[in-house]
């Protein structure tokens, strides 16, 4: 019979005040959903994951290898955000746990915040606002500039960097970008060969790189010194890529005229928690609490997108857009589907098919994909799987997880 619904009660836990749209999507697909408004520490998380099949988090909850080892029922993790550095992806894959994120859903929200901050800093709106609230009418053009005609340097030309490029160019800015990957320029943006080249030419620098460890302190005293005097700096990607001591010194000396920072090396785990930064109290510095993607529109889209990925994985085995599994876009199926996650070693598919043949199961369709050390096979079979066949499949050398759908 056609498969599209969950045939048993599947439990999902959503943390960190994920938008209700995610709960609605999962519930409509047959999941039992529990929600929690904040992040959980390691011990609390392990306890909460008892009997949970699917976990949804945002950027604050850390899913470590130790947590994963103590969550045997967990099948998949949804990061309702862009970044996945809060998840040990290798440990998850080794445990047979798929991970998904939302790489596109909040792109526009981050870009609009960056544009707003570039204009605000160029016009020194933070200082003018503070003066007005203090009762000081300081009507002057000193230090205020249009962004039209100025050069924006974008470090990291992925989804966010590329869209920022388009909007900045529409405002009349000249756009340069640097990326370690080969990226196609949009509009009149121009690629430069080195970070140093970009920094020397850019009056405003906006950073949009990923959270890999290699990017730690990507920006320090040397990089700020390369930027033109009175340049502006934005970081809306990951806190650990900027040396905040060096940024403070560059701002205090006047070499950097303004900064907008949305992410920090250490961020509070809970809303309304006390926050301390070296950059607090500095004029023309905009500090925001990691809200680049926090618009209602983005959160609705993220909730719908990631919840849909989790439900698809449960009900069809689809791993499309997974960040740690081989990518197979699997749709609806007839009769029975068997999904088999294994180490990428020779002979696994032959062993699978031998067991199917000995069980008198005809293969209707089969897909295999690999990713590094992981292999993933989806097989639609015609006929009823025999008792004990899943145990036999699980005994294949290198098997990480096997499931029967339908």
Name beta bridge partners: 100.
78
Alpha-carbon separation of residue 3 from 136, 167, 405 (angstroms): 68, 44, 8
Indicate which residue of 290, 336, 337, 342 is catalytic. Answer: 290
> Coil, helix or strand for 62?
coil
Q: What is the DSSP string of 313-331?
A: HHHH---TT-SSS------
The catalytically annotated residue of 124, 174, 208, 238 is 238
Q: Specify the 3-state DSSP secondary structure of 125.
A: helix
Local structure of 367: helix, strand or coil: strand
Q: What DSSP element (H or E) covers 394?
A: helix 389-394
Give CA separation, 196 vs 111, 203, 208, 249, 384, in Å.
24, 13, 16, 20, 63
Q: Which residues partner with 405 through β-bridges?
A: 337
Catalytic residue among 138, 245, 267, 297: 267
Q: Is 297 among the residues known to form the active site?
A: no
User: Which two three-digit tokens encode residue 23?
Assistant: 């709960």
Give SS3 for 134. Answer: coil
Q: Is 164:149 a contact under the CB 8 Å cutoff?
A: no
SS3 breakdown of the chain: % helix, strand, coil, rounded to 5?
A: 30, 20, 45
Angle at 400 between CA 88 and CA 336, to 5 degrees: 120
For 63-132, where are the E strands, in sequence order?
76-79, 98-100
Token readout for 276 is 């301390």
290 is catalytic: yes
Residue closest to 204 by CA, chosen among 287, 278, 148: 148
Any alpha helices (H) in 253-366, and if so which ranges? 296-316, 348-358
133 classed as catalytic: no
Give the DSSP letter string of 147-194.
STT-EEEEE--SHHHHHHHHHHHHTT-EEEEE-SS--PPPTT-EE-S-
What whole-number distance in Å separates Cα of residue 286 and Cα of residue 31? 41
Catalytic positions, written as ranges: 238, 267, 290
């Amino acid at each position: 019979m056609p498969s599209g619904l969950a045939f048993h009660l599947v439990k999902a836990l959503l943390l960190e005040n994920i938008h209700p749209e995610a709960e609605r999507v999962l519930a409509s697909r047959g999941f039992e959903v529990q929600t929690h408004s904040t992040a959980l520490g390691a011990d609390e998380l392990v306890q909460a994951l008892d009997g949970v099949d699917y976990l949804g988090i945002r950027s604050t909850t850390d899913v470590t290898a130790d947590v994963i080892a103590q969550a045997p029922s967990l099948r998949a993790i949804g990061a309702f955000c862009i970044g996945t550095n809060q998840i040990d992806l290798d440990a998850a894959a080794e445990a047979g746990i798929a991970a998904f994120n939302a790489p596109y859903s909040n792109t526009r929200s981050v870009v609009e915040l960056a544009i707003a901050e570039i204009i605000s800093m160029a016009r020194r709106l933070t200082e003018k606002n503070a003066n007005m609230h203090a009762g000081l009418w300081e009507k002057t053009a000193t230090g205020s500039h249009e962004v039209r005609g100025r050069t924006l340097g974008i470090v990291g030309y992925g989804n966010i960097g590329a869209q920022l490029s388009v909007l900045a160019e529409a405002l009349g800015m000249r756009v340069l970008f640097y990326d370690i990957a080969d990226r196609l320029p949009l509009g009149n943006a121009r690629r430069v060969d080195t970070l140093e080249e970009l920094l020397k030419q850019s009056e405003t620098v906006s950073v949009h790189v990923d959270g890999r460890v290699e990017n730690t302190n990507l920006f320090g005293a040397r990089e700020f010194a390369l930027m033109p005097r009175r340049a502006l700096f934005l970081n809306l990607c990951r806190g650990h890529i900027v040396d905040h001591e060096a940024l403070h010194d560059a701002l205090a000396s006047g070499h950097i005229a303004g900064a907008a920072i949305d992410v920090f090396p250490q961020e509070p785990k809970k809303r309304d928690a006390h926050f301390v930064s070296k950059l607090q109290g500095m004029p023309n510095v905009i500090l925001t609490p990691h809200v680049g993607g926090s618009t209602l529109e983005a959160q609705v889209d993220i909730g719908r997108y990631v919840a849909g990925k989790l439900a698809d994985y449960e009900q069809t085995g689809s791993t499309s857009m997974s960040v740690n599994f081989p990518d197979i876009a699997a749709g609806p199926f007839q009769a029975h589907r068997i999904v088999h996650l294994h180490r990428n070693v020779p002979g696994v598919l032959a062993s699978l098919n031998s067991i199917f043949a000995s069980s008198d199961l005809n293969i209707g369709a089969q897909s295999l994909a690999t990713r590094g050390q992981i292999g993933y096979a989806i097989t639609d079979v015609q006929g009823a799987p025999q008792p004990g066949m899943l145990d036999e499949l699980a005994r294949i050398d290198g098997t990480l997880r096997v499931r029967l759908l339908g």
